[in-house]
């Protein structure tokens, strides 16, 4: 029940709807593979000029975009939702260049580190190397079911646009994963509860989106991840199971991956990053996703971090397009 495939009848209806919406959405076929910039949650991170290289390949089936450095991943600027300046502004994101995790490792199935210490006592449990920059090795970048599925992920919320995103997802029978910032979850518990009530899942995106994360003291990284998990759980009110966490800007390292693992969460990356947080224009967002999405891919978008009107408008085109392309909506591999 993880996946939410759209029932045949409904799909056909959707197809019809998409046709009505305009062929423009159908013009772009997959396969192109431009060099997305994928990198990262980069979202928020303007800079990363070249970093944008591509999606992080993982997509199961078609690796087409092969060698993507993934440097980008480390790029998302704080975008902390409502509080952060925003994209363009911060262009120079300090972001973690280095964070190029999983260069080639596509679908990392298993979990990175081993459960060492106790889940709870992570703080104490995570010993060694403070801020080690060891590259991450277990970042997940694939849907749970594989095949022609896509996992939509929305970061930095909940925010003012979360309701619109949820409305659209409901319209298309799509399920998504929301990587929430602890402070925002605490501020908008109703949104967190609605997300769960409508069948979506939650992901820990730290308390306040520190960037770059890997340079923070070990204890701070533990607190950012552990406290956010608690804040999101408290906002949800019903002890939801949170099985993923995503580092701001995709700044994963072996160190923080271990912290997340000790808390029972896997590191969640992505394969397609349209950089919607930088508000590149609706068509730019749409085209990026259409060109870079591959079966089993994980799309990074944002429901928080500032004005998300472009994201919402793009989603209105992308959801029917995905349905028309035969994609079923799934959750990330876990």
Residues with active-site annotation: 155, 302
CB 152 within 8 A of CB 219: no
CB of 179 to Zn ion, least distance (A): 7
Report the residue number, 76 or 257, with the smaller CB distance to Zn ion.
Answer: 76
Considering the rule CB under 5 A, would residue 180 count as an interface residue with Zn ion?
no
Measured at the CA of 99, the angle between CA 200 and CA 312, to 5 degrees, comes to 35
Q: Supply the minimum distance, in Å, between the C-beta of residue 155 and Zn ion.
A: 4
Q: Closest separation between CB of residue 247 and Zn ion, Å? A: 9
Distances (CA, A) of 258 to 193, 233, 255, 266: 28, 20, 5, 9
Q: Which residue is nearest to Zn ion (CB)?
A: 155
Match 């979850």 to its residue by tokens. 185
Smallest separation, CB 228 to Zn ion (Å): 11
Interface with Zn ion: number of residues (CB under 5 A): 5
Please list the residues that pair with 257 across neighbouring strands. Answer: none
Site for Zn ion in 38-57 (CB under 5 A): 41
Q: CB count, 10 Å around CB of 94?
A: 16
User: Whose Cβ is closer to Zn ion: residue 14's or residue 214's?
Assistant: 214
To Zn ion, the closest distance from the beta carbon of 91 in angstroms equals 16
Between 41 and 276, CB nearer to Zn ion: 41
- Give the nearer residue to Zn ion in terms of CB position, either 149 or 206: 206
Q: Work out whether 86 is an interface residue with Zn ion (CB under 5 A).
A: no
CA 316-317-319 angle, 5° bins: 75
> Residue 284 in contact with residue 137, Cβ under 8 Å?
no
**Structure tokens that stand for 99 in this block:** 């964070």
Of 40, 112, 96, nearest in space to 259 by CA: 112
- Nearest distance in Å: CB 304, Zn ion: 8
> Is residue 156 involved in binding Zn ion (CB under 5 A)?
yes
DSSP letter for each residue of 158-204: S-TTHHHHHHHHHHTT--EEEEE-HHHHHH-HHHHHHHHHTT-EEEE
Nearer to Zn ion, 156 or 255 (CB): 156
Q: Which is nearer to Zn ion, 273 or 320 (CB)?
A: 273
CB-neighbour burial class of residue 147 (10 A; exposed 0-12, middle 13-18, buried 19+):
middle
Which of residues 36, 69, 140, 155 is near Zn ion by CB under 5 A? 155
Give contact residues for Zn ion (rule: CB under 5 A): 41, 76, 155-156, 248
């Amino acid at each position: 029940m993880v996946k939410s495939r759209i029932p045949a009848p409904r799909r056909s209806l959707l197809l019809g709807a998409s046709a009505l919406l305009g062929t423009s959405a159908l013009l772009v076929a997959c396969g192109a593979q431009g060099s997305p910039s994928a990198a990262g949650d980069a979202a928020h991170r303007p800079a990363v000029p070249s970093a944008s290289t591509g999606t992080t390949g993982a997509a199961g089936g078609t690796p087409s975009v092969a060698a993507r450095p993934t440097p980008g991943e480390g790029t998302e600027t704080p975008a902390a939702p409502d509080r952060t300046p925003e994209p363009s502004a911060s262009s120079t994101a300090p972001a973690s260049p280095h964070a190029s995790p999983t260069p080639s490792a596509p679908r990392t199935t298993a979990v990175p580190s081993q459960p060492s210490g106790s889940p709870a006592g992570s703080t104490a449990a995570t010993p060694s190397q403070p801020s080690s920059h060891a590259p991450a090795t277990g970042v997940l970048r694939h849907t749970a079911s594989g095949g022609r599925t896509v996992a939509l992920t929305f970061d930095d919320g909940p925010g003012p646009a979360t309701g619109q995103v949820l409305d659209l997802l409901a319209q298309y029978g799509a399920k998504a994963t929301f990587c929430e910032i602890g402070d925002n979850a605490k501020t908008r518990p109703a949104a967190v509860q609605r997300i769960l009530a409508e069948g979506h899942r939650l992901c820990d995106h730290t308390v306040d989106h520190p960037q770059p994360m890997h340079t923070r003291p070990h204890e701070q990284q533990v607190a950012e991840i552990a406290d956010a998990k608690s804040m999101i759980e408290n906002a949800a009110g019903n002890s939801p199971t949170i099985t993923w966490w995503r580092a701001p800007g995709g700044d994963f390292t072996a160190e923080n991956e271990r912290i997340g693992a000790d808390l029972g969460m896997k590191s969640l990356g992505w394969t397609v990053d349209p950089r919607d947080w930088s508000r590149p224009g609706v068509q730019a967002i749409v085209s990026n996703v259409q060109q870079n999405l591959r079966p089993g891919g994980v799309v990074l978008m944002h429901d928080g971090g500032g004005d998300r009107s472009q994201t919402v408008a793009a989603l209105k085109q992308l959801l029917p397009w995905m349905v028309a392309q035969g994609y079923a909506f799934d959750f990330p591999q876990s």
